[in-house]
Structure formats: C-alpha cells, structure tokens
Amino acid sequence: MQKFVEFVRNIYKTKDFIALHEPVFIGNEKKYLNDCIDSTFVSSIGKYVDRFEREFAEYVGSKYAITTVNGTSALHISLLLADVGNGDEVITQPLTFIATCNAISYCSAKPVFVDVDRDTMGLSPKSLQDFLEANCEIIDGKCINKTTKATIKACVSMHTFGHPCKIDEIKAICDAWQIIFVEDAAESLGSCYKNKHTGTFGKVGAFSFNGNKIITSGGGGAIVTDDEDLAKRAKHLTTTAKVPHSYEYVHDEIGYNYRMPNLNAALLVAQLEQLDKFLQNKRELTEKYAEFFRKYDEIEFVKEPHNATSNYWLQAIILKDLEERNKFLEYTNKNGIMTRPIWKLMNELEMFKDAQYSDLDNAKHLEERVVNIPSGVTL
C-alpha cells in the first residue's frame, strides 16, 4: 500500500491531497463563458445549448441530443419516453449509482434486480434471460411478472465506470420479451461496444456531465435518440411542457424544468473540444496502472471487456476480500490519496429492500472487493 501511494504521487507529481477525479479546464471554457454572459442568454435558451446538442449527437453517432440539468433528469425523461409509469417494473442491476433507481422511482415504478457479469460489472444477459424465463410471460404483447402481476416495461443497463456491458445481447433479449431497452450511459462518454458508441443501442440513452465526469459543465446531462418524435417529446417534457408561442403560457401536460442553461452548455462545448485528448490521457494512465499492478497477483486491475473500448472514467482494482478492501481504503485515504469503494447494492438500501431480485452472487462479490483509485486526466 505504501508503494501504491508513492506510485500515485509520482504520477501526479504532488505531495498534496490527490482527488479521485478532478475536472480540467484548459481550453476555451472562459472564452465561451464570457461570450455567453455578454450575450445575456444565460438560461436554457442560447446558441451554446443548440451547438452542444448538435455536436454531441454527432460525436456519439445519434441523430438527436437533448440537454438536461443533470444525468438523473436525463434518465428520468428517458424512462418516461419508454412509457414507464405508475405500477410498472423496470429491470436493472443492483450494482449501480443510486440515480439509476431514483429515476425509476420518479416514474412511480419499481426496480427489479438481476445480477451483473464480473468482467463488465454491468448487467448480465444470462441473469436477465434466466430471470425472465423463470418469472415472466408474454400476455397481449406485454411482459408480465407472474409473481407481482405487474408489467415489466423497461430494462436499464449501466456501463460501470465506463466499461460497456454486453449491450447487443441485452437488447436482443429485451426485444424478444417486449421490453424497452434504455441505456444508462452516464459514465461511458467515449466508450464503444463493437465500434458503436454506448448510449446509442437502445431506444434512448442518458449521459451525465457531473463535476466528476470525463467532461463536465458542473452538472448537466443529455438524452440521445434516433427517433425524431421521441426527441421532440423529450424537449417538450424538459421545457415544462409549454406549447410554443411567442407570449402565451399554455402547458398541455405535466412537464419538468430540466433544460440545461446556456452557461453550462458553453462550458460543455469547450470540454467536448478536448474529449479526444482526455481519452488519450486516460489510456496512458491505464497503462501506468496496469504495469504497476502486474507485480501483485492478489490484486486485479480492471481492464476494458472483450469487444469494448472503454473510456476508463474511473480506474478500478479488485482486491482479495472485504478485509483487504477496507485496509486499502483506510491506508490510502489517511495518506492523502482519495480512493472509494464501489456502491452498496441497491437492494440492500432501505427504500429498495422489498424489491424483487434474482441470484446476485457476482454483484455481491464485486461490492466487497472493488475500489476506485485516482483517475483524473493527467496533462
């Protein structure tokens, strides 16, 4: 552990506290922000919102992108676009950030948890298929949970730390079972699976630009889709469902004040210009870590899965057991190197303790062993 601390300090060339993932602003951020302020268009209408949506859609390979105030709101709207509503169920993974399940709850729906794969740390196609065969049936074109009698409306997979899960297999299973596939791509900007960008496999995908993401606007999120009607509805829902008019205020349904301000979009346009460089630096950092951890048989350094190109948003290691994990966390944090454990399983949280779940052996194994290590963009 001491050698690890020394190694990290050598990488970042500092004796000060080293954060898990700091944002980097070295491009046109100030220039675009000043331009935005001078224009007085600092709220949700402005040229930088339009520009970012256009350039972001082009970057990930989708036809449309709709900005939101954060990744959670992007996922919330994505689920509404998938027609998830009161009493419905959404299959997802228990090993994820809380936002995944919060967004499901905002729709008055309930999560159902299936296991993850150890190599991707994301939703397991086999676990999904096994759960559906054992617990569900198709009735009138809907996937019905035989235990709860509820409709399983959607399935949400999350690309853990930017490592793509087996998206094509998951989508194929969802299609066969009349379930809408939604991608939580909050952590995976710059990641591809079989040369196709994450977030673009399902009907809709959701991204996050939180302060600790690979590019950031402080907050911020985006919905991507190839469906023009869904894109228009996403924009409508995120702008309080206001019917377009030059001065009248008419709203035709319950909407949300979720549109990204122009100020945030100005930051993101500048950040997007640097994304390829950030990704390159991430891979250089990955090689440094991989070389270091080759010397330690009892520690597994997490690398991108088969058929995937990962953004390595957060670097991760898998330790021998829970005791070793806790020792590592305590020593590194006491010595000014920020590390953190992977999330507590969602089905173990108070608000989701009654949720239905399958065998979660892989998720539990990873929960007890995975640690994130400093992953900032080194320049």
Contacts for 209 with CB less than 8 Å, ≥ 6 apart: 70, 71, 215, 216, 217, 218, 219, 220, 221, 222, 264, 268, 271
In our burial notation (b when 16+ CB lie closer than 10 A, e otherwise), range 52-65 reads bbeebbebbebebb
pLDDT of residue 379 exceeding 90, the answer is: no
- Please check whether residue 345 is in contact with residue 94, taking contact to mean a CB–CB distance below 8 angstroms: yes
The CATH number given to whatever domain includes residue 286 is: 3.90.1150.10
> Rounded CA gap, 159 and 178, in Å?
22
Q: How many structural domains compose the chain? A: 2
Domain of residue 282: give its range. 2-24+275-346+356-373
Tokens 């998720």 locate to 363
Same domain, 15 and 83: no
Same domain, 289 and 314: yes
Query: Which of 274, 298, 331 is at the close of a domain?
Result: 274
> Rounded CA gap, 344 and 283, in Å?
28
> Rounded CA gap, 91 and 99, in Å?
14
* Number of Cβ within a 10 Å radius of residue 292: 16
> Rounded CA gap, 242 and 224, in Å?
21
pLDDT of residue 246 exceeding 90, the answer is: no
pLDDT tens digit sequence for 317-372: 999 999 999 999 999 999 999 999 999 999 999 999 999 999 999 999 999 999 99
Name the DSSP class of 374: -
pLDDT of residue 45 exceeding 90, the answer is: no
- Please check whether residue 121 is in contact with residue 166, taking contact to mean a CB–CB distance below 8 angstroms: no
* DSSP codes joined into one string, 228-279: HHHHHHHHHHHBTTBPP-SS---B-S---B-PPPHHHHHHHHHHHHTHHHHH
- Between 149-153, 220-224, 246-250, 343-347, the lowest mean confidence (pLDDT) is in 246-250
pLDDT at res. 165: 97
Give how far the C-alpha of residue 12 lies from the chain's centroid of Cα atoms, to the nearest Å: 26
* Number of Cβ within a 10 Å radius of residue 287: 9
Same domain, 269 and 237: yes
Same domain, 216 and 319: no
